[in-house]
Structure 1
Amino acid sequence: MQNQSSDNIQYYKTGGDNHAGPQGTRPQYKTGHSMQYKSASGQIYSIPPPQGVMVTQPSAVAPDTSNYINWMYPAIFVTLFCFWPTGLVAVLYATWARKAMKGGDFAGAASYSRKVKIFVIISLAMGILVIISIILLFVLARSSNYKRY
């Protein structure tokens, strides 16, 4: 079939009531009728009607929530017991992740969840370093030869 935009194609309906349709408009398919297209050069193209056309709509796909992990409880734990500055940032991101998940923004929730994980790990590592430093200071202070007055 030739390009419809370059040729001035006239549409004709055959079978039943033989009459020419208006130029530039598409006639409706009817059962048992074929379509003929006449180009400006005079060539006639015939297209059979569609047979057994089945139209389906896509099914609803469940959202991928596998990347979202609720890190709120670990964030609260590291805020209270490890290192509170980065722990508060983790709690903030965990709150945003929960709101994004409830709002249906699953990609945003997964992104916030990854950030919470990073801040929880940083807080935990900082807390462990601070605790080890304090223990070492007490041990070194007790073992040194300084006198208390």
Structure 2
Amino acid sequence: MKLSQIDPHTRATMTFDWGTVKWFVQPDTTPGATLSFGEVVLNPGQGHERHNHPTAEEVLYVLSGSGEQMLNDEEPFPVHAGDVIYVPKGMFHGTLNTGWSPLRLIALYNPGGAEEKALAELDDYREVPPGSVPTFIRNLGG
């Protein structure tokens, strides 16, 4: 197998009402890969609500921002840059951005593949093609 550097601009971006996900490594796009590895950006005040991954464990690493993490339907706890969250297979969890700036996370699914396909089935999913930049419309409230 040829080893290669992965150019993020060659990967599509998943967009949702709550933020974006860009998968850098996936079984479908990276020869030999059995896990998925990508960056998640949660918009201020938004989150990825309670859900679970029946077939995969998940590891989250907080790159920047601040938020709250819920695990196993227990009280949410604060998360900040440098924190690592392990989510066992099947455990319900959710992440909320409580800050004014984006909450950036690295996400890893093991095994990869099924969970990203489930994200693509959500009602608010839209894909931004490789090489394009997602755009956001400011909500002025009301």
Bigger RCO of structures 1 and 2 (CA < 8 A, at least 6 apart): 2
Q: Which has the larger radius of gyration?
A: 1
Q: Same fold (TM over 0.5)?
A: no
TM-score of the superposed pair, with normalisation by structure 2: 0.23
TM-score of the superposed pair, with normalisation by structure 1: 0.22
